[in-house]
Amino acid sequence: GGIITQTPKFLIGQEGQKLTLKCQQNFNHDTMYWYRQDSGKGLRLIYYSITENDLQKGDLSEGYDASREKKSSFSLTVTSAQKNEMAVFLCASSIRGGAYAEQFFGPGTRLTVL
């Protein structure tokens, strides 16, 4: 087994601020993902990284940057926080098997912008 750790659990920022969310996994998985979860909506993919040196944009990448520092860690930066970005950000990892592979999720970072 393994675990995905997301830090911080709660993040409060000011409008226009640059904010960074971090994710660590010890599954030894190749592929990692960042999703945004808004109330009443499904999960939407922001960025994913197939392997350690890869970075791919998802459907919601505008306003975000991502960085895969090493195999076990994947960071997401909100480049300029906006009031309508109050949401939960979920990190996930999987083996390198495309979307057929089971994704394992962390507990999330809840972002509030004042």
Partner 1 sequence: GDSVTQMQGQVTLSEDDFLFINCTYSTTWYPTLFWYVQYPGEGPQLLLKVTTANNKGISRGFEATYDKGTTSFHLQKASVQESDSAVYYCVLAPGNMGYKLTFGTGTSLLVDP
Judged by the rule CB under 8 A, the positions of this chain that interact with partner 1 are 4, 31, 33, 40-45, 48, 50, 56, 58-59, 90, 92, 98-100, 102-108
Nearest to 75 by CA among 19, 9, 11: 19
Whole-angstrom distance, CA of residue 79 vs CA of residue 22: 14
Q: Give the residue with the Cβ less far from partner 1, 8 or 107.
A: 107
Task: Quote the Cα angle for 42-81-85, to 5°.
Answer: 25
Q: Give the residue with the Cβ less far from partner 1, 14 or 99.
A: 99
Whole-angstrom distance, CA of residue 34 vs CA of residue 6: 11
* Least distance between partner 1 and beta carbon 15 (Å): 27
* Least distance between partner 1 and beta carbon 106 (Å): 5
Is residue 55 within 8 Å of 47, Cβ to Cβ? yes
Q: Give the residue with the Cβ less far from partner 1, 9 or 18.
A: 9
3-state secondary structure of 85: helix
Q: Give the residue with the Cβ less far from partner 1, 43 or 86.
A: 43
